[in-house]
Amino acid sequence: MMGCLRRLGCLAAFAFVLVAGGVAWFTRRWWLPLLPFGAGAVAQDAAWQAPTPEGAKRVESALEALQRPRGQVFANVAPGDLLAYIMKEFARSLPPSADSIQGAIVGDRLYIRARIRTADLGSSIGPLASLVSDRERVEFGGTLNVITPGFSEFQVKSFKVRTFPLPDALLPALVRQLSSERPAGLAPDGLPLVTPTYIGDVRVANGRITLYKGQ
């Protein structure tokens, strides 16, 4: 009798684990970003977009609409399109060896990934340098912030080489390695971006980036 009860108990526990595991898997997009390592994990399933000339033109059209005195007050743009538009700005921060550049949205962050020569990162990745090959895929995510009219930043919140995440404490050193220009008001982990003076705010959510006209 006791053996039967034990078997039933084990079967019930096994069934519970299966059900809980299934629920956790199908709802991972909601709870995984809340974990310290979650955003990077979800980024693997994100809809990555490569920058194209057509995408840059779509952002230019959206900006022209915002610039009109009586035009719309906001415009939605895709991550790949915005990346195409600001590629000249990011080209100053990404190493010359960068290729296969793509962008994606995960939660409230814009993610960028590319393949680069790891030597271009210098000593900023610390002990990770001994764990990676000469050329690797890097992925970094962060937020877009308008600091003053015409001046914004991409604040880096996470960075990984291949599958190895960089500790938060090393992010400022990495950002300084990528961008020697440090205008006043820029966060220690921020990459400077020149933006139109009439852009007052940038918000990231639900797979899109929304540009808002300033007051």
In percent, the amount of the chain with pLDDT more than 70 equals: 79
The widest CA-to-CA distance across the chain, in whole angstroms, is 82
Cα 65 to its chain centre, rounded Å, is: 26
Query: What's the confidence (pLDDT) of residue 167?
Result: 87
Q: What is the pTM of this model?
A: 0.72
Q: Residues 66, 199: contact at Cβ < 8 Å?
A: yes
Q: Residues 112, 86: contact at Cβ < 8 Å?
A: no
Q: Residues 184, 200: contact at Cβ < 8 Å?
A: no
Model confidence at 37, in pLDDT bands (50, 70, 90)? Answer: very low
pLDDT in tens, 12-32: 444 444 444 444 444 444 444
Buried b (16+ CB within 10 A) or exposed e, 171-198: bebbbebbbeeeeeebbebbbbbebeeb
Query: What's the confidence (pLDDT) of residue 101?
Result: 87
Rounded distance between C-alpha atoms, residue 153 and residue 187, angstroms: 8
Give backbone dihedrals phi and psi of 47, rounded to 5 degrees, phi first.
Answer: -85, 90
